[in-house]
């Protein structure tokens, strides 16, 4: 099993953080994983993406051209990555940010709205991770939550718990 | 009183031209090192320029730096070996032209090193071309009609560095007379002591003769420092804080 | 300790484990994590860190530290490495052990900040002036970014010569698993790292020393060059490479660094579809695995060389093969990344 994922949107949306949580969870399950970010002038609002590969075997190139899954947080990225998706690939879209015609085969979630219910839209990335994991079951809920905990522990228990709650809310949306 | 060779100077003939200032400066520098009893702690950095062969004459540990980079080399040696005494010995081309940036930033960090800056208002080693310090109207092999405004104005290193907060000590001296040479020696000593006392960046600019590139006799070149060069580059202390 | 880490950060940890005394660097993407992380970690360890005013200053600072027999490293990316070349040549001339890390980006000129492999010639064929060689190590994963600094210092001190770690933006920026185990000791490392018989440490209880590369006496520089040449020839024993399934291969894929990871995907894919292909990854590009490649050529194997450049390492493969077999090249310069599918179709055409 080798799955290639692109998470894409703008700086400030937690793109890199979402990718980091995936690879942390993958490691907890003893999987092989790579993470490759877009980098450079990392501006808030500038286009940003990261490429995550999760596999059972050695991973060659960490660069992803034809993803199995795309988690998308912007219109620009939606147009760009829709075409590169594998034939049986899946696109996950934050539909608060990108409005599309309903005939396109994507999984949508109003992730900002969902996150706001817990106090702020900044946890929309957690909601999208929840939706993604619920749908593809690539990683276990427990390892994802452990990875979220690990990622936010420096911000205190309250923040950890909030992020886990949003993640769970995302899980329930499938 | 017996007149002896300083221990810090090897008993070897030097290659410098007749009337050159480098020999005198090597001598007083070596005397200071002996007097302070720091010969065994010295790691010196020779430049690219006439003094590149310093290591053939000085009897203490010495390395050679690429042209203009002695301040960086010295910074690194001192930071990793804080108990050693580290100095650079650089010409005006080395320090003020190609190495201007390293000079500025080493001063700006207030590195606890000592720079001996030998200003002979020309490039000696490569055959007498213009230096940043060359006098207005001075004839060199690249200003055959004399230095003009288009070639820039003599760069005053002490004045320039005196604006930098972290610089501790700046003095300009000359070696064109016994009296001046004694003052030069005192300044060299003070600059070394500053380092021993952890005072930070010290630079002594030494106006030195280069009869060959000035197309003069040794005696004329002593007078040239007195009459012209030390007017453009006034002697004295520019900073002592 | 198993951790997820960026290549650049792993290099910092590996350098610290290797006993780095001093780091000097100037910001440039895609290696900024090295300078940033060094600023924290070296200070934590009570060692020397300095952000310099330029790569000229950085490289001359490691030159200075090496004069005193200590371990110093600088890192940069392509344009900054170009700026360092004069002093790298001085280090070779003075026989100083230093480590220089190049996290290559797209060129020429200011280029771009994507990973690239356009600096191979500069690293392997000289870069600076004069007849000299530098051992060049080519990490291809984050684990090697952790382990190679130690090896680089060992080789630098063993041969008293600068060593380059030639990485690229992809290896520097990617995150993967790394085992931050204690680095294995070389059996003779205490002896190798002991610089007391040549370093400048102050002339206490010994005669004074000097280290220089200006050698003006009649014929002496020629002599010095022959001595260096003998040393460069001896480095041949340090050649290191990884080889998979070349025995029955008709075509051997050759690549280093990120390209090696890409050809590995192509290799797996082609084997799965029944093609006899092999994989060869140089872990040192000077010395280059010429002998092994020559032997494979003698055995009738063809080569497909893949690089993130317009074709640089391929020249060394061709020199090793000496026309005895077919050598094909596929590369993308300027920060582009070769595609697995293109490699596959090109290799099929060679069958
Ligand atoms: C990179 C580089 N550029 C140029 C030179 C040639 N060069 C050697 S010495 C020198 C000028 C030295 O002049 P200065 O520093 O004033 O010292 P002096 O010889 O006058 O004592 C030059 C340009 C060099 N060695 N390296």
What structural domains and CATH numbers belong to chain C? 2-195+228-236 (3.40.50.970), 240-350 (3.40.50.920)
CB proximity under 8 Å: A 31-50 to C: 32-37, 39-40
* CATH fold group of domain B22-240: Rossmann fold (3.40.50)
- Distance of CA C83 from the midpoint of ligand 1 (Å): 19
* B203 alpha carbon, distance to own chain's centre: 8
Candidates C32, C176, C253: best to mutate against A (most CBs of A within 10 A) is C176
CA angle centred on B36, ends B30 and B37, rounded to 5°: 85
- Distance of CA B205 from the midpoint of ligand 1 (Å): 17
| Nearest protein Cα to ligand 1, atom 13 | B123
Residue whose tokens read 């910001």: C27
| Nearest protein Cα to ligand 1, atom 2 | B67
For chain B, the domains span 22-240
Interchain contact A23–C (C-beta under 8 A): yes
A58/C264 touch (CB, cutoff 8 Å), yes or no: yes
**Chain C contact set for B101 (CB, 8 A):** 53-54, 56-57
Residue whose tokens read 């310093």: B54
Cβ–Cβ contacts within 10 Å for residue B183, how many? 17
Structure confidence at residue A41 (pLDDT) = 60
Q: What is the value of pTM for the model shown?
A: 0.95
Q: How many whole angstroms separate alpha carbon A145 and alpha carbon B182?
A: 77
Q: From the CA of B128, how many Å to the nearest CA of chain C?
A: 20
**Chain B contact set for C86 (CB, 8 A):** 66
SS3 C279: strand
Q: How many whole angstroms separate alpha carbon A9 and alpha carbon C153?
A: 42
DSSP for B180-199 reads HHHHHHHHHHHHHHHHHTT-
List the beta strands (DSSP E) in chain C: 2-6, 22-25, 48-51, 72-76, 98-104, 135-137, 162-168, 175-179, 210-211, 241-244, 251-254, 277-282, 284-286, 302-307, 327-331
Cβ–Cβ contacts within 10 Å for residue B64, how many? 25
Chains contacting B with at least 3 CB pairs below 8 Å? C
Cβ-contact C162, C134 below 8 angstroms: yes
Q: Could you tell me the CA-to-CA distances from A54 to A121, A129, A163, A170, C144 in Å, in that order?
A: 28, 15, 23, 21, 20
Q: Which residues of C touch B (CB under 8 A)?
A: 21-22, 24, 48, 50, 52-54, 56-58, 60-65, 67-68, 70, 72, 86-87, 90, 94, 200-205, 208-214
**Rg from Cα positions in chain C:** 20
Q: Do chains B and A touch (3 or more CB pairs under 8 A)?
A: no
Q: Could you tell me the CA-to-CA distances from C161 to A3, C63, C92 in Å, in that order?
A: 44, 11, 5
Residue in chain B lying closest to C87 (CA) = B66
Nearest C-alpha neighbor of B66 from the set C224, C69, C93: C93
Region A120-149 average pLDDT? 97
Supply the DSSP symbol for A155. G
A34/C174 touch (CB, cutoff 8 Å), yes or no: yes
- Pocket probe for ligand 1: among B23, B25, B92, B123, the residue whose CB has the most ligand atoms within 8 Å is B123
DSSP for A30-87 reads T-EEEEEE--SS--TTSEEEEEEEEESS-------SS-SEEEE-SHHHHHHHHHHS-T
Cβ-contact B112, B77 below 8 angstroms: no
| The total number of residues written for chain C in this structure | 351
Kindly state if the Cβ of B125 falls inside 6 Å of ligand 1.
yes
Kindly state if the Cβ of B130 falls inside 6 Å of ligand 1.
no
Give the count of domains, chain A.
1
Kindly state if the Cβ of B129 falls inside 6 Å of ligand 1.
no
The CB-side HSE value for C105 (13 A sphere, CA atoms) comes to 22
Token pair listed for C143: 């684990």
Candidates C177, C339, C344: best to mutate against A (most CBs of A within 10 A) is C177
Candidates C105, C175, C180, C306: best to mutate against A (most CBs of A within 10 A) is C175
Kindly state if the Cβ of B49 falls inside 6 Å of ligand 1.
yes
Q: How many whole angstroms separate alpha carbon C272 and alpha carbon C249?
A: 13
Nearest C-alpha neighbor of C326 from the set C297, C299, C349, C348: C297
Q: How many whole angstroms separate alpha carbon C319 and alpha carbon B105?
A: 46
Which is it for strands B61-64 and B42-46: parallel, antiparallel or unpaired?
Answer: parallel
* B75 alpha carbon, distance to own chain's centre: 17
Token pair listed for C93: 């001339």
Token pair listed for C211: 């280290």
Of the pLDDT bands very low, low, confident and very high (cuts 50, 70, 90), residue A174 is: confident
Q: How many whole angstroms separate alpha carbon C54 and alpha carbon C80?
A: 8
Q: How many whole angstroms separate alpha carbon A46 and alpha carbon A83?
A: 21
Q: Could you tell me the CA-to-CA distances from C253 to A57, C245, C278, C301 in Å, in that order?
A: 20, 10, 6, 10
* Contacts of C256 by beta carbon, 8 Å cutoff, 6+ apart: C117, C138, C140, C166, C281, C282, C283, C285, C307, C313
The crossing angle, in degrees rounded to 10, of helices C85-94 and C55-67 is: 10
- Which range among A30-44, A143-157, C25-39, C315-329 shows the weakest confidence by mean pLDDT? A30-44
Structure confidence at residue A82 (pLDDT) = 86
Scanning C32-137, the segments in alpha helix (DSSP H) are 32-44, 55-67, 78-83, 85-94, 120-124
* Contacts of B85 by beta carbon, 8 Å cutoff, 6+ apart: B38, B41, B42, B43, B114, B192, B195, B196
The crossing angle, in degrees rounded to 10, of helices B100-108 and B70-80 is: 30
Token pair listed for C309: 């450049």
Interchain contact C170–A (C-beta under 8 A): yes
Annotate C287-305 with b (16+ C-beta within 10 A) or e (fewer): bbbbebbbebbeeebbbbb
* Contacts of A3 by beta carbon, 8 Å cutoff, 6+ apart: A53, A54, A55, A68, A69, A136, A138
* C229 alpha carbon, distance to own chain's centre: 20
Cβ–Cβ contacts within 10 Å for residue C205, how many? 6
Instruction: Report the CATH number that the domain containing residue A125 is assigned in CATH.
Output: 3.40.920.10
| Nearest protein Cα to ligand 1, atom 4 | B67
Kindly state if the Cβ of B48 falls inside 6 Å of ligand 1.
yes
Q: Could you tell me the CA-to-CA distances from C349 to C297, C298, C302, C317 in Å, in that order?
A: 18, 21, 12, 20
Cβ-contact C118, C168 below 8 angstroms: no
- pLDDT string in tens for chain C (351-residue length): 899 999 999 999 999 999 999 999 999 999 999 999 999 999 999 999 999 999 999 999 999 999 999 999 999 999 999 999 999 999 999 999 999 999 999 999 999 999 999 999 999 998 999 999 999 999 999 999 999 999 999 999 999 999 999 999 999 999 999 999 999 999 999 999 999 999 999 999 999 999 999 999 999 999 999 999 999 999 999 999 999 999 999 999 999 999 999 999 999 999 999 999 999 999 999 999 999 999 999 999 999 999 999 999 999 999 999 999 999 999 999 999 999 999 999 999 999
Helices and strands (H, E) in chain C, number of each type: 14, 15
- Its domain, for residue A88, covers 2-171
Supply the DSSP symbol for C236. G
**Chain A contact set for C180 (CB, 8 A):** none
Sort residue B128 into left (φ over 0), alpha (ψ -120 to 50) or beta.
Answer: left
SS3 A146: helix
- pLDDT string in tens for chain B (241-residue length): 567 899 999 999 999 999 999 999 999 999 999 999 999 999 999 999 999 999 999 999 999 999 999 999 999 999 999 999 999 999 999 999 999 999 999 999 999 999 999 999 999 999 999 999 999 999 999 999 999 999 999 999 999 999 999 999 999 999 999 999 999 999 999 999 999 999 999 999 999 999 999 999 999 999 999 999 999 999 999 999 8
């Amino acid at each position: 099993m080798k799955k290639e994922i692109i998470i894409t949107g703008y700086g400030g949306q937690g793109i890199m953080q979402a990718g980091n949580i995936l690879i942390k969870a993958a490691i907890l399950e003893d999987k092989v994983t790579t993470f490759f970010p877009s980098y450079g002038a990392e501006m808030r609002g500038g286009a940003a993406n990261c490429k995550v590969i999760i596999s059972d075997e050695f991973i060659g190139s960490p660069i992803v051209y034809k993803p199995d899954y795309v988690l998308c947080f912007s219109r620009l990225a939606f147009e760009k990555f829709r075409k590169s998706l594998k034939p049986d690939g899946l696109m996950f879209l934050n539909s608060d940010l990108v409005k599309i015609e309903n005939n396109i085969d994507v999984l949508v979630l109003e992730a900002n709205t969902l996150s706001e219910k817990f106090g702020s839209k900044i946890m929309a990335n957690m909601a999208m991770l929840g939706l993604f994991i619920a749908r593809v079951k690539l990683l276990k809920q427990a390892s994802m939550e452990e990875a979220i905990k690990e990622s936010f522990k420096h911000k205190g228990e309250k923040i950890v718990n909030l992020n886990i709650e949003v993640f769970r809310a995302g899980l329930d949306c499938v | 009183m017996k007149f002896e060779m300083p221990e810090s100077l090897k008993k070897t003939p030097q290659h410098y031209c007749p009337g050159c200032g480098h020999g005198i400066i090597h001598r007083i520098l070596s005397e200071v090192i002996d007097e302070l009893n720091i010969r065994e702690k010295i790691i010196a950095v020779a430049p690219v320029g006439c003094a590149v062969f310093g290591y053939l004459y000085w009897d203490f540990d010495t390395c050679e730096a690429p042209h203009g980079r002695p301040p960086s080399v010295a910074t690194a040696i001192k930071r990793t070996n804080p108990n050693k005494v580290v100095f650079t010995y650089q010409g005006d081309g080395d320090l003020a032209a190609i190495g201007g940036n390293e000079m500025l930033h080493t001063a700006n960090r207030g590195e606890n090193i000592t720079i001996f800056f030998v200003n002979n208002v020309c490039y000696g080693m490569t055959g007498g071309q213009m230096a940043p310090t060359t006098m207005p109207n001075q004839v060199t092999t690249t200003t055959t009609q004399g230095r003009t405004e288009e070639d820039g104005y003599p760069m005053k290193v002490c004045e320039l560095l005196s604006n930098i907060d972290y610089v501790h000590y700046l003095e300009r001296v000359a070696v064109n007379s016994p009296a001046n040479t004694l003052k030069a020696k005192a300044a060299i000593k003070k600059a070394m002591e500053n380092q021993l006392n952890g005072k930070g960046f010290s630079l002594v600019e030494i106006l030195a003769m280069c009869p060959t590139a000035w197309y003069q006799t040794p005696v004329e070149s002593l007078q040239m420092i007195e009459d012209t060069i030390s007017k453009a580059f006034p002697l004295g202390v520019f900073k002592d804080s | 300790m198993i951790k997820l880490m960026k290549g650049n950060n792993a290099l910092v940890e590996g350098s610290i484990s290797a006993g780095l005394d001093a780091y000097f660097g100037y910001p440039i993407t895609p290696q900024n994590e090295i300078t940033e992380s060094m600023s924290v970690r070296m200070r934590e360890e009570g060692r020397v860190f300095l952000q310099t005013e330029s790569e000229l200053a950085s490289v001359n600072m490691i030159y200075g530290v090496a004069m005193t027999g200590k371990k110093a490293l600088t890192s940069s990316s392509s344009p900054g490495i170009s700026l360092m070349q004069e002093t790298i040549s001085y280090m070779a001339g003075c026989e100083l052990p230093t480590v220089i890390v190049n996290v290559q980006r797209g060129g020429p000129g200011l280029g771009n900040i994507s990973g690239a492999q356009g600096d191979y010639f500069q690293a392997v064929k000289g870069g600076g002036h004069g007849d000299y060689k530098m051992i060049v190590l080519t990490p291809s994963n984050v684990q090697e970014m952790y382990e190679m600094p130690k090896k680089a210092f060992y080789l630098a001190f063993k041969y008293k010569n600068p060593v380059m770690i030639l990485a690229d933006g992809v290896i520097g920026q990617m995150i993967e698993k790394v085992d931050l185990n204690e680095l294995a000791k070389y059996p003779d490392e205490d002896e190798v790292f002991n610089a007391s018989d040549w370093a400048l440490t102050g002339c206490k209880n010994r005669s004074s020393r000097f280290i220089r590369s200006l050698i003006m006496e009649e014929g002496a520089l020629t002599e010095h060059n022959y001595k260096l040449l003998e040393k460069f020839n001896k480095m041949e024993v340090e050649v290191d490479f990884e080889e998979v399934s070349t025995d029955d291969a008709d075509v051997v894929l050759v690549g280093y660094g990120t390209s090696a990871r890409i050809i590995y995907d192509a290799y797996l894919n082609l084997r799965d579809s029944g093609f006899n292909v092999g994989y060869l990854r140089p872990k040192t590009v000077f010395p280059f695995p010429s002998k092994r490649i020559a032997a494979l050529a003698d055995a009738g194997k063809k080569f497909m060389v893949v690089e993130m450049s317009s074709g640089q390492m391929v020249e060394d493969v061709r020199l090793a093969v000496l026309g005895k077999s077919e050598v094909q090249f596929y590369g993308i310069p300027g920060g582009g990344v070769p595609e697995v599918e293109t490699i596959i179709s090109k290799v099929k055409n060679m069958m």
